[in-house]
Amino acid sequence: MATQKLTPKKTALLEALEKSLGVVTTACKQAGITRRTYYDWIAKDKAFKDAVDDIGNVALDFAESKLHSLIRDENPTAIIFYLKTKGKKRGYIERQEIAHDGSIESKLIEWKPADKK
């Protein structure tokens, strides 16, 4: 993690983010800063934002490795989830198919009041 130009508070927050796998509220509490401050730093400090993005990718990699472990253990839910998200190009997708022949029919209905007797 590139923290050379970052303040000690930002560095502490990045370390807390890494430990919490990117959970902002938990990391802010551990580092003693507000969520508002966190989002201000994200908006104003590119180096900080880049470091946060790297931590997000690490957390995603961790979750993907857990998913692959479940797939290796032949967990059906994990297998289905993986195929629905990564196997779309091979047809593993739930979808509705709506057939339309292109024709449109409209009818004019005229209303006439009943005759009085």
Total domains, the chain: 1
Q: Is residue 103 part of a domain?
A: no
Q: Is residue 63 part of a domain?
A: yes
- Which of 81, 49, 54, 55 has the alpha carbon at shortest distance from 67? 81
- Give one DSSP letter per residue of 20-76, joined into a string: TTT-HHHHHHHHT--HHHHHHHHHH-HHHHHHHHHHHHHHHHHHHHHHHHHHHTT-H
The answer, as to whether pTM is greater than 0.75, is no
**Local confidence pLDDT in tens for the 117 residues of the chain:** 444 588 999 999 999 999 999 999 999 999 999 999 999 999 999 999 999 999 999 999 999 999 999 999 999 999 999 998 888 888 887 776 677 778 888 888 787 888 876
Q: Is residue 46 part of a domain?
A: yes
Q: Is residue 102 part of a domain?
A: no
**Which range marks the domain in which residue 47 is found?**
8-88
Q: Is residue 100 part of a domain?
A: no
CB crowding 60-99: b at 16 or more within 10 Å, else e: eeeeeeebeeebeeeeeebeeebeeeeeeeeeeeeeeeee
Cα 71 off chain centre by? 21
Q: Is residue 3 part of a domain?
A: no
